[in-house]
Amino acid sequence: MKRVSLALLALAATAPLQAQSLLYRPPNLGGTWVPDPGVVQFNFVHRFHVSEGPVDEVQNFPTFTFATGLGRGLALGWRFGTNSIVGPGRLDNNESEWFVRWRAHGVEGRDGFSVAVTAAYNELAQSGDGEIGVDYTVQRLTLSGAVRGMSHPFREPDAKAALAGGAVVRLTNYIAMSADIGSRVSPTTRAVWSAAINFLIPGSPHTFSLQASNAATSTIQGNSQALPSFDGSGSNQILYGFEFTIPLHLKRFAPWFHGSPKPVALGTAAGATVAAEVGMSAVKFTTESVTISAGQAVRWTNRDPVEHSVTFDGAEPGSPIIPRNGSYVHRFEQPGTYTYHCTPHPFMKGVVVVK
Ligand SMILES: [Cu+2]
């Protein structure tokens, strides 16, 4: 037990930081995220419709996503939605989609291209589904696209493809606007779309969105077809709702079973003198500014029960996630002013001045 949790700790500590957040993915695109090993990703989309008439009735369209990282860019996941339109009878069915995702290239949220391939089985549609998702991120903009294939879309006998594209613009480090549009192809169906305003919740790894869409469930099939209008008029049926993304780091629960984790030392001074120490406690860098000479190193030590990072605002390579009781050493070669922040808590800021 102890050995397993230490192995998870080591894996999570060395894995790259990943976004998995609504600041990098429009609502109806699966994105290219893959959880780190030892992380269970829990996403919850809830859309609803209030029907007019003598009785105001709320119709709910929730979709839960659970996925876990297996390492090597692989994830195993399950989505569950209700009031699905992909099965027989329409709107009163539970939809279950199992998927395996492989991130073939890049890391979601980092500048450049990221590509993920997803293979899925939709139990309600009894269909083998697949998606190739591509993201391109440059600074505050992420463009996303997806090509989808479905062996029996909506239980129809013939295989069909669907295309979708969208964009996210990050107005600040905490707020983004996103939208997407898609359709099945040959023949093209009515466009399926969504639009959202997205928030990173300060002091947490969680994101939250407020959204509007004409899609019901958030599966490969559910994201590929517009909801039929409830009154049969053929008009566009708009649902409103929200999404929460919650990464659960299993090692965070280690204190339930163990005392303080053993210290973990990350980074290397490469023979240099550690000329300054910076603590991380109470979700702050204890010394906001340190001054060293070129060729010297700085050590950061995490005394908080939550994990932090040292992420430079410029090109200087930063730390991986620094766990509780972990430290990180970095040597500075060139004189300059190096501002940095913590990726999980962007309000944590500090500066290293190298003379
Ligand atoms: Cu932090």
Question: What's the CA-to-centroid distance between 114 and ligand 1, angstroms?
Answer: 25
CA–centroid distance, residue 211 to ligand 1 (Å): 28
Cα of 301 to ligand 1 centre, how many Å? 12
Q: Which of 78-82, 245-249, 324-328 has the lowest mean pLDDT?
A: 245-249
Cα of 116 from ligand 1 centre, angstroms: 28
More confident residue, 277 or 39: 277
> Quick check: 158 and 150 in contact, CB under 8 A?
no
Ion ligand 1 neighbours (CB, 5 A) are 308, 342, 344-345, 348
Report CA 295 to chain centroid distance, whole Å. Answer: 37
Residue 55 has pLDDT above 80, yes or no: no
Of residues 313 and 53, which shows the higher confidence score?
313
Give the type of residue at 78: W
The Å distance, Cα 236 to ligand 1 centre, comes to: 43
pLDDT value at residue 91: 66
Mean pLDDT of 192-216: 92
Q: 269: Cβ–Cβ under 8 A, 6 or more apart, which residues?
A: 297, 299, 329, 331
Tell me the CA–centroid distance for residue 285 and ligand 1, in Å: 9
Lowest mean pLDDT among 37-41, 58-62, 84-88: 84-88
Mean pLDDT estimate for the chain: 87
What pLDDT was estimated at residue 10? Answer: 38
| Range 14-27 average pLDDT | 68
Q: Is the pLDDT of residue 16 over 90?
A: no
CA of 252 to the centre of ligand 1 (A): 14
Rounded to the nearest whole angstrom, what is the distance from the C-alpha of residue 313 to the centroid of ligand 1? 15
> For the residues 79-105, what does the mean pLDDT come to?
87
Measured in Å, residue 30 CA sits from the centre of ligand 1 at 27
What sections of the chain are H helices per DSSP? 2-14
**What are the tens digits of pLDDT across the range 237-247?**
899 999 999 98
Ligand 1 centroid, distance to 344 Cα (angstroms)? 5
Burial environment of residue 231 by CB neighbours within 10 A (0 to 12, 13 to 18, 19 or more): exposed
Segment 224-238 mean pLDDT:
77
**Cβ–Cβ contacts within 10 Å for residue 2, how many?**
9
pLDDT band of residue 8 (cuts 50, 70, 90) is very low
The answer to whether the pTM exceeds 0.85 is no
12-252, CATH topology level = Porin (2.40.160)
In the CATH hierarchy, which top-level class contains the domain 263-354? Answer: mainly beta
pLDDT band at 235 (very low <50, low <70, confident <90, very high): low
**Over 50: is that where the pLDDT of 5 sits?**
no
pLDDT of residue 11: 37
The band of 4, judged by pLDDT with boundaries at 50, 70 and 90, is: very low
Going from the Cα of 297 to the center of ligand 1, the distance in angstroms, rounded, reads 20
Measured CA to CA, the distance from residue 224 to residue 217 in angstroms comes to: 10
Percent of the chain past pLDDT 90, that is, above it, reads 60
pLDDT at 3: 46
Q: Give the Å distance between the CA of 308 and the centre of ligand 1.
A: 3
Domain locations along the chain: 12-252, 263-354
Nearest residue to 22 (alpha-carbon basis) of 182, 112, 142, 115: 142
| Per-residue tokens: 193 | 């779309």
Per-residue confidence (pLDDT) for residue 255, from 0 to 100 = 67
Give the Cα-Cα-Cα angle 311, 315, 317 (nearest 5 degrees).
50
Identify the pLDDT of residue 44: 96
Q: Concatenated DSSP letters for 37-99?
A: BTEEEEEEEEEEEEE-SSS-EEEEEEEEEEEEEEETTEEEEEEEEEEESSSTTSSSEEEEEEE
Q: How far, in Å, is the centroid of ligand 1 from the Cα of 23?
A: 18
- pLDDT tens-digit map of 268-298: 888 889 999 999 999 999 999 999 999 999 9
**321 CA to centre of ligand 1 in angstroms:** 9
What spacing in Å lies between the alpha carbon of 327 and ligand 1's midpoint? Answer: 13
Residue 33 Cα to ligand 1 midpoint, Å, equals: 21
User: What pLDDT score does 145 carry?
Assistant: 96
Stretch 169-193: mean pLDDT: 92
Average pLDDT over residues 312-318: 92
Residue pLDDT, tens place only, 124-155: 999 999 999 999 999 999 999 999 999 998 88
Alpha-carbon dihedral angle through residues 106, 75, 145, 229, given to the nearest 10 degrees: -160
Residue 90 has pLDDT above 70, yes or no: no
Q: How far is the CA of 283 from the centre of ligand 1 (A)?
A: 6
209 pLDDT more than 50 = yes
CA of 241 to the centre of ligand 1 (A): 30
Query: Does the structure show a pLDDT above 80 at 203?
Result: no
